Amino acid sequence: MASDPLAPRTDLRARVRAGEITFGAFASVASPTAAELMGRSGLDWVILDLEHSTLTETDLLAGVYAMQSTPATALVRVEESTRLRIGRALDYGAEGLMIPRLETPAEVRAAIDWFRFPPAGIRGIALSTRGAGMSEVAHADIHRLNARPLGVFQVESPLAVANAAEIAAIDGVDVLFVGPADLSHAMGIPGEITNPDFIKALATVAAACHANGKAAGILLRGAADVARHVAIGYSFLGIGSDGGWVRDGARATVSAARASLA
């Protein structure tokens, strides 16, 4: 009996919505091999990053293939919230999307319309794409795919923080994900992630998520920051990137080698 092409490859969306703590990282060096290594490391999810990395859409399909050979869920951060960017990433087979730079409920609702096939949305229909089962899903069943993608929406400005409760209440928003660099700069406290005003903003986002049964997410500097943010209410935790780990590992090894000669 053929497998159900509509069945999700992983249960990440259900785990996230149940409040489970998950760990992920950003793929930024345009290497399917590096993405696959991260996917085999024990991470729950990896985001192929089209906003702040060397990846382009040319690299995206290979990255999705690589990730989907691993237990980790393949997510994509699109460059911007437009119908074409969102639709193409989903057509390639992305299992969820991170959407940057949205601030209002109206902007988020428009993005979710692009996530979803009719009648719930206006996602373009091409049954032959990977994201639609490569012609294994009939027109009458295409709407069943609407429940699959994980929707991760970034909070990167004071206006987005102020609108967090209303945004978190929207069906299709699964995670509100704080971008610490952008938010701290927008607040006029660049990089001051322990500033009381920044911590208050984090708490506001977490409370909005918990009140609406959604997950709060954030990119951390590393494992040392995990417990503190879990205590605030965060459960969808980014803990690094392939580029950062290559840089840090190389520097540490070179430093140790030079120190061994002292």
Residues annotated as catalytic are 52
Residue 202's nearest CA partner among 160, 150, 169, 239 is 160
Say if CB 62 and CB 35 are below 8 A apart: no
Sign of CA dihedral 30, 54, 21, 92: negative
- Residues contacting residue 82 through CB under 8 Å, at least 6 positions apart: 114
Cα 113 to Cα 108: distance, rounded to the nearest angstrom: 9
Query: Can you give the C-alpha Rg of the chain in angstroms?
Result: 19
Cα 82 to Cα 125: distance, rounded to the nearest angstrom: 16
Cα 117 to Cα 110: distance, rounded to the nearest angstrom: 13
